Amino acid sequence: MASAEQLRPVVVSGPSGSGKSTLLKRLFQDYPNKFGFSVSHTTRSPRPNEKDGVHYHFVSREQFEELIKQNKFIEYTEFSNNLYGTSIGAVRAVADEGKCCILDIELQGVKSVKKTDLNARFLFVAPPSLQVLEERLRNRGTESEDAMQARLKAAKEELAYAAEEGAHDRVIVNDNLDIAYEQFRKFIVDCN
Ligand SMILES: Nc1ncnc2c1ncn2[C@@H]1O[C@H](COP(=O)(O)OP(=O)(O)OP(=O)(O)O)[C@@H](O)[C@H]1O
């Protein structure tokens, strides 16, 4: 088993619709036991089938706010009156189990991971163009027109950041899926 130091987390980011989920799904199919996701914290109540520490770390709002104060989160957000967050400790716990942690996060999260000592590797999935991105989002059929415009605006910001020197260790353009996947797979697997 690789030691925790060797299992550097991999941060996968890129505009909504660039193909992160598609590429990650394929990676997990090819390597069912090599990778893991961190367990998030939430203030919402567990559903009957949910186990603390497995599906989420269920905490009170007071506990969650204390963790925020202690800078324990990479990112957190409020949704439907409940707080959700990814803690630095939860990412580390994946490596402690001998798995490489994959973080699928947005721009703010990427910047936040860089401020930690997680020693992550950063991979950016870019669409071939904004036009193609828009087409793929429209074809996916999951977005309202408002959500579409918000996603395209965010995409422009992500692409501008990705163009900065040293923003990511690797940028993969997801044009032909098979070619993109091979580059994606190689980057993630080769250094772990
Ligand atoms: N190389 C490709 N060629 C054509 N279509 C693709 C390609 N890669 C992904 N798609 C399609 O584009 C759409 C967006 O892909 P996907 O849902 O994987 O994006 P995402 O980056 O995970 O988005 P989100 O951040 O919103 O979850 C999907 O319908 C997917 O099937």
| pLDDT-based confidence at residue 143 (cuts at 50, 70, 90) | confident
Ligand 1 neighbour 142 (Cβ under 6 A): no
pLDDT at position 175: 98
Domain-ending residue, one of 57, 86, 115: 86
Same domain as 130, residue 69: no
Q: Look at the chain and report how many structural domains it folds into.
A: 2
Q: 129 and 64, same structural domain?
A: no
Q: How far is the CA of 75 from the centre of ligand 1 (A)?
A: 23
Closest residue (by CA) to atom 15 of ligand 1?
Answer: 19
**Of the listed ranges 5-9, 96-100, 141-145, the one predicted with least confidence:** 5-9
Q: 156 alpha carbon to ligand 1 midpoint, in Å? A: 17
pLDDT at residue 3, rounded to an integer: 66
| Interatomic CA distance for residues 91 and 189, integer angstroms | 18
Half-sphere exposure of 128 (CA within 13 A, CB side): 10
Q: Best mutation site among 140, 143, 152, 153 for ligand 1, i.e. most ligand atoms within 8 A of its Cβ?
A: 140
Looking at the structure, tell me whether residues 179 and 143 fall in a common domain: yes
The strand order across the sheet containing 170-173 reads 35-36, 100-104, 10-13, 121-126, 170-173
Domain extent for 121: 10-37+100-190
Same-domain pairing of 30 and 118: yes
Same domain, 31 and 119: yes
Reported as a single tens digit per residue, the pLDDT across 6-23 is 799 999 999 999 999 999
**Percent of the chain topping pLDDT 90:** 92
* 181 assigned to some structural domain: yes
Burial (CB count <10 Å: 0-12, 13-18, 19+), residue 68:
middle
For every residue of 70-119, DSSP letters joined together read: TT-EEEEEEETTEEEEEEHHHHHHHHHTT-EEEEE--HHHHHHHHTSS--
What's the CA-to-centroid distance between 136 and ligand 1, angstroms? 7
Q: The whole model's pTM is what?
A: 0.91
CATH number, position 59: 3.30.63.10
Q: Residue whose CA is closest, atom 18 of ligand 1?
A: 19
Structure tokens at 78: 């409020």
Q: Tell me the per-residue pLDDT of 49-78, one tens digit each, with 9 for 90 and over.
A: 999 999 999 999 999 999 999 999 999 999
Task: Specify whether 48 is located in the same domain as 26.
Answer: no
21 shares its domain with 59: no
Q: How far is the CA of 149 from the centre of ligand 1 (A)?
A: 17
The verdict on 70 and 144 lying in the same domain is no
